[in-house]
Chains A and B, each alone.
Chain A
Amino acid sequence: MKKTRILDGKDLDIVIHRLAHQILEKNKSTKNLCFIGIQRRGVYLAERIKHIIERVEKAKIPFGVMDVTLYRDDLALSSVTPEARKTNLDFDINKKTVILVDDVLFTGRTIRAALDEIMDFGRPKSIQLVVLVDRGNRELPIKPDFTGKEITTSLKEHVKLHLRETDGKDELWLVREE
């Protein structure tokens, strides 16, 4: 197994700041904006991006967390029962612009599940997808609006994002199986 560190804590911080400003640039203001982070690491990323934007615009943005486990299409393929976490959207998403945040975009199936789940809560005006890493190998026609880093990977490789909140340190790793 070969591990390569692609981004360290400082690099990640710069990327997150850049994403926050790109989101602001596209949306011009925070009016009708809301954040939804996909469990688990998407939630912490969304929080960080939200804080940056809130600081710049001096406005509060509604924040929700979403667990997509029950909407996945591959539940039967795993031999372990997937553990579902909390979903909490305590605001009305109708007519809002949803900034959907996840850490790694791969096949696109997680985002498909997230879109279905969001639609069960109402009809947003639009959904914009923010991902920290796009590792290619899409199986569904899903495209991010804002990308932190694009990495071309093979199926023998894994992209692992570590965050302070979940893993103690901010780092992005590429792991290659031998």
Chain B
Amino acid sequence: MLNKKHLLGIKDLSKEEIEEILNQAKVFKEVSQRQVKKTPALRGKTVVNLFFEPSTRTRISFELAAKRLSADVINVASQSSSLVKGESLIDTLQNIEALSCDIAIVRHTVAGTPHILAEHTHACVVNAGDGSNEHPTQGLLDMFTVKERLGTLQNLNVVIVGDILHSRVARSNVWGFLKFGCGITLCAPPTLIPRDIDEEQGVGVSYDLAGSLKKADVVIMLRIQRERQATHFFPSLREYVRYFSLNDTTAKALGKNTLVLHPGPVNWDTEISSSLKERLSPLILDQVTNGLAVRMAVLYLLSLRKEQKR
């Protein structure tokens, strides 16, 4: 049973809670394949998308998840809201709460924002990405994808490649996979690896892509933002691509059953060569489908718990 009022991070979830979400997501993946893709589970509930950082894909995914559960959805995008007029974050949320929202989905550039909002609202708060801290539903959908394809999450070898330093997706995945006894290798140039990685926790660092890929069961490729080049995290994008991108040469190190995931959108010919597009796209698109199912599961379980506590 999910024992949390909010979903703020995978760090706070127990292994059992993660498994419950994944099991429920399996059910909802099936619902999305029916002719009538709706269940009345959240009928009469109001879900608000509070996106203070621009997003299309995640917001649409959450919106669709809520609608398929028959909830009413409101979208608040920061640029078009009264935040521009100077209304404070908490005031915004409390104003929305006056309209009796049941669940607030929050994305913000500043880490910890969903946590603060959670203290000032009756609604359930779902973290859709806070700064570089966590993006729990992405971590959960990645785990769901792996579990679906490999049958288990226990003791796998997971390699995460890319801009680890700035990545909330990487952090959520690390917290998640560690709970299942997985070994994690972070692969990136030294400038993009956070300091103080605790090797004892099961997280290692490598600067050798091909070497890491050889033993990997799961590879998570992260987006490389071109702006990083301008801010001197690597000498040139070309050099980064040469050493850390997945291309025909480095892909030779992949095992036959190794999964390659990407949170999207993929910069083809940056972190992954477009020659691998045909081979790798199907799973990456499956992640999107799974994301919808996982978000439905999260909204459903949080709402259910709220009802039960009443």
Contact = CB atoms under 8 A, between A and B. Distances in A.
A and B pair up: yes
Interface string B21-65: 001100100110011101111000000000000000000000000
B36 A121 contact: yes
A139 interface: no
A163 to B, nearest CB: 23
Interface stretch (A10-18, A78-86, A102-110): A78-86
Given A81-B1, A81-B301, A70 B308 contact: no
Interface string B1-32: 11000000000000000001001100100110
Nearest to B38: A120
B310 interface: yes
B30 A81 contact: no
Given A76-B308, A81-B1, A70 B31 contact: yes
B304 interface: yes
A71 B39 contact: yes
Nearest to B2: A81
A87 B33 CA distance: 10
Interface string A67-102: 101110001111111011111010000000000000
B198 interface: no
Given A76-B307, A121-B35, A86 B40 contact: no
A70 B41 contact: yes
Contacts of B41: 70, 75
Interface in A116-151: 116, 120-122
Contacts of B301: 81
Interface in B264-310: 301, 304, 307-308, 310
Contacts of A83: 23
A75 B304 contact: yes
A84 B35 contact: no
Contacts of B2: 81
Nearest to B34: A87
A6 B90 CA distance: 63
B40 A71 contact: yes
A78 B307 CA distance: 10
Nearest to A71: B40
A121 B310 CA distance: 32
A115 B120 CA distance: 41
Contacts of B24: 81, 84
Contacts of B31: 70, 87
Nearest to B20: A81
Contact of B27 (A71, A84, A89): A84
Nearest to A75: B304
Given A81-B2, A84-B27, A76 B35 contact: no
Contact of A75 (B36, B307, B310): B307
A121 B35 CA distance: 7
A69 to B, nearest CB: 8
Contacts of A80: 1
A38 B30 CA distance: 16
B56 to A, nearest CB: 28
A76 B38 CA distance: 19
A1 B27 CA distance: 36
Given A70-B31, A81-B20, A76 B310 contact: yes
A112 to B, nearest CB: 12
A34 B39 CA distance: 23
Given A76-B308, A81-B24, A87 B1 contact: no
Contacts of B20: 81
5 contacts: A71-B40, A76-B310, A81-B2, A81-B301, A120-B38
Given A71-B39, A89-B34, 17 more contacts: A69-B27, A70-B40, A70-B41, A75-B41, A76-B304, A78-B308, A79-B308, A81-B2, A81-B20, A81-B24, A81-B301, A81-B304, A84-B24, A84-B27, A87-B34, A121-B34, A121-B36
Interface of B: 1-2, 20, 23-24, 27, 30-31, 34-36, 38-41, 301, 304, 307-308, 310
Nearest 6 pairs of A and B residues by beta carbon: A76-B307, A70-B39, A84-B27, A120-B36, A70-B41, A76-B308
